[in-house]
Every structure is written in structure tokens, then in C-alpha cells.
């Protein structure tokens, strides 16, 4: 298990133990540092099992719960679904490559002109800020809370959990939104159009096949027309949202309004249209994530539970202001 920034488990010690159930305790250790508060990679240990099968079974249950919590709370942890061996290029090699052929960019974006009249100047503020949980023990409390829950994931639910885990470590708000939106797409059923509509589309396909247009264009049109036999995801999502009565609001939006906002945002990103300042990408993403878990609870049997996540604490290793 890992996190992109150090200090997720901000504990000034080299290990921490916690009981998650009767006769089951886990301990977490840093893998790439001496103390937990400076580590980015973590080892979780649990022993005392009678057989190897029992140990593997308990490990899979722990992994399943960690991935579920990471998906729900957007913790930014990387919890692999499968076991593998990975390698890392040394920092010294990266630095050497940068010196020989890399391109360095400063933090100023775009073109600006400043009057050279001794009355104007540029103020530059720079520093290193880190946001980490103010109480890292909450994750262990959450594991303990859901340890006895029966969690059975079919293929579709596992795909959704995987997408939400991927979104958790994504830094770009747009890509994070698109990944969560894709998770929602797995859960909304898109129905076929009426028989009359499908019959009309079939006529268009026959006309296209019998036309004299180039074969590559003909194949493209036939493919597009065939896709029209099913309704659109946006239409299916709006219809689904109309039927949501509880909760009445998700992240401050009525469910139908949230669906419309998400569709609008997705279309703007897909068509490379600038997103207006009034659209809160992060808030819409949180709302869609909440909607996904609502569907998992009501339609796919994932137990409904709540977990408290304390506010993050922000620390600064360096901060300076300069006038240019």
C-alpha cells in the first residue's frame, strides 16, 4: 500500500498496531522510511493463522475493505488489486537524463506584460504544503467498523471499485471526474429504443449499405446508426436521477440537477470546451461518487455504512515571499 505524499499516517513511530476484530490484530510498518510520518509506502502485517489458506483469506478480506474505504473516502491510497513485482528507476538516473536532454519550465503560465515604471512589481509566493489526515487512526477505526460486514463483489462491482480507486490517486480534477463518471456508467442500464425507432434506424442502415458512398465512410455510418438502436447514457442517467427520492440532495444538488451538471461537464471536457468558473468540478465529482455508492448499496447489495473522516491538517516545510 502506498500514498503519493509522505505523512498519510502521521505517526512519530516505526510501527502501529490495532485490533480490528476478536483475535485479529494488524500492524502497519513504513517500507521506505524509518518513521511512519515520513513514509510513502507501507507494509501491513497480521499473523497467528493456523494455515496458509486462512492467512490468505484474511489478507484478501483486508484488501477488499481497504479498497472499499479508499473508493468511498477518496483517500489517495494505492492498494493494488493484484500481486506483482515492480521496479523503480533511480532518482540519480532521472536527474542525469534531465541534465542531458530535459526541458525545465518555470511556474509562470502564459504571457504577461508589466509596465517598466517602478510602480509595478511581481510578488512570488512559493513553498511546500502537505495535507495529511489530522487523525490517521480513523482508517483503522473504519476497518474495524466494517470488518464483520459480508462483502461479495461480482465482476461489475469490482470494476466500479477499481475505477474509484484509480480516481482516488488522480491529481487532475478533470480526469478524476471522468474516471468517477465512467464508474457510474457501469451501473446505469441503457435501454433499447422502441421497436418503431429501431425499425426506422434499420431502414437507414439498409439505405446506407446500398448507397455509392466510399466503403470506409459507409462502415462508419453503419456503425454510428447501429449504436442509435440503444438509448443514450445521458438520457438513461437523467431518467434514473428523476426516480431518486432519498437522499433529496447530494452535495447540495437535487439528484436530477446533479445528473445534468455531470452530463454537461462530461460533454465540455470531451469537446475540449472551456469549463466556466461557476462549475465546481470537485463538488460534482464528490456527488457522482456518492451516487455510485448509493447504487451499490440499493441495487448490488453492498452494505450501507457511514465512516467519519476527520479534517486534514496542512503543514508547511517551507514558505517564502519575494518581490521581483
Residue 146: how many CB atoms within 10 A of its CB? 17
For residue 87, the model assigns a pLDDT of 43
* pLDDT of the residue at 107: 41
Domain locations along the chain: 1-83+121-151+304-324, 152-191+231-302, 195-227
The answer to whether residues 28 and 16 touch, using CB atoms and an 8 Å cutoff, is yes
Give the pLDDT confidence score for residue 82 in this predicted structure.
72
Over residues 58-87, the pLDDT tens digits come to 888 888 899 999 998 898 998 887 765 444
- CA nearest to 306, candidates 140, 69, 74, 136: 69
pLDDT, tens digit, for every residue of 126-177?
666 666 777 878 888 888 888 888 888 888 899 999 999 999 999 899 999 9
| Whole-number pLDDT of residue 94 | 44
Q: Beta partners for 61?
A: none
Q: How far is CA 145 from CA 21, 79, 153, in A?
A: 9, 19, 19
Only one residue has cell 447489495, namely: 301
Residue 28 CA: distances (Å) to CA of 31, 126, 166, 226: 10, 34, 23, 53
Q: Which of 133, 149, 155, 152 lies closest to 70 in space, CA to CA? A: 133
- Burial per residue of 193-205, b for 16 or more beta-carbon CB atoms within 10 angstroms, e otherwise: eeeeeeeebeeeb
Q: Which pLDDT value is given to residue 306?
A: 78
Strand partners, 45: 27
Cell numbers representing residue 13 in the block: 513511530
For the chain, residues with pLDDT lower than 50 are 85-89, 94, 103-111
Contact 123, 321 (CB under 8 A): yes
Helices (H), the chain: 52-73, 91-101, 138-146, 155-168, 173-185, 195-209, 215-227, 233-242, 255-270, 281-299
Cβ-proximal residues to 316 (8 Å cutoff; 6+ apart), any chain: 127, 128, 129, 130
The predicted pLDDT at position 159 comes to: 92
pLDDT confidence of residue 23: 78
Residues 6+ apart with CB under 8 A from 236: 188, 189, 190, 191
pLDDT of residue 103: 38
Residue 290's pLDDT is: 92
Contact assessment for residue 312 and residue 75, using Cβ atoms and an 8 Å cutoff: no
In this prediction, residue 114 carries a pLDDT of 56
Q: Which residue has the cell 464508474?
A: 183
Amino acid at each position: 500500500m502506498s500514498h503519493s505524499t509522505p505523512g498519510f499516517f502521521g505517526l512519530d513511530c516505526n510501527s502501529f498496531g490495532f485490533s480490528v476484530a476478536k483475535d485479529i490484530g494488524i500492524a502497519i510498518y513504513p517500507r521506505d522510511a524509518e518513521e511512519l510520518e515520513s513514509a510513502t509506502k507501507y507494509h501491513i502485517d497480521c499473523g497467528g493463522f493456523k494455515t496458509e489458506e486462512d492467512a490468505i483469506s484474511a489478507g484478501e478480506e483486508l484488501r477488499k475493505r481497504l479498497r472499499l474505504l479508499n473508493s468511498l473516502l477518496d483517500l489517495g491510497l494505492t492498494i493494488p488489486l493484484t500481486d506483482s513485482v515492480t521496479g523503480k528507476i533511480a532518482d540519480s538516473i532521472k536527474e542525469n537524463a534531465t541534465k542531458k536532454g530535459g526541458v525545465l519550465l518555470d511556474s509562470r503560465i502564459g504571457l504577461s506584460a508589466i509596465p517598466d515604471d517602478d510602480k509595478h512589481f511581481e510578488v512570488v509566493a512559493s513553498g511546500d504544503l502537505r495535507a495529511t489526515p489530522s487523525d490517521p487512526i480513523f482508517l483503522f477505526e473504519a476497518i474495524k467498523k466494517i470488518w464483520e460486514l459480508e462483502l461479495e463483489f461480482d465482476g461489475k462491482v469490482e470494476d466500479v471499485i477499481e475505477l474509484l480507486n484509480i480516481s482516488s490517486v488522480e491529481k487532475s480534477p478533470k480526469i478524476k471526474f471522468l474516471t468517477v463518471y465512467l464508474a457510474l456508467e457501469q451501473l446505469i442500464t441503457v435501454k433499447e429504443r422502441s421497436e418503431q425507432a429501431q425499425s426506422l434506424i434499420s431502414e437507414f442502415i439498409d439505405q446506407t449499405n446500398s448507397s455509392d458512398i466510399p466503403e470506409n465512410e459507409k462502415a462508419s455510418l453503419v456503425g454510428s446508426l447501429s449504436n442509435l438502436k440503444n438509448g443514450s447514457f445521458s438520457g438513461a442517467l437523467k431518467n434514473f436521477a428523476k426516480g431518486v427520492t432519498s437522499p433529496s440532495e447530494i452535495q447540495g444538488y437535487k439528484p436530477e440537477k446533479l445528473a445534468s451538471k455531470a452530463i454537461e461537464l462530461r460533454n465540455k471536457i470531451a469537446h475540449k470546451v472551456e469549463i466556466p468558473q461557476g462549475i465546481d468540478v470537485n463538488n460534482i465529482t464528490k456527488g457522482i461518487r456518492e451516487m455510485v455508492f448509493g447504487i451499490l448499496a440499493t441495487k448490488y447489495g453492498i452494505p450501507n455504512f457511514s465512516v467519519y473522516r476527520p479534517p486534514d491538517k496542512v503543514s508547511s516545510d517551507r514558505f517564502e515571499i519575494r518581490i521581483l
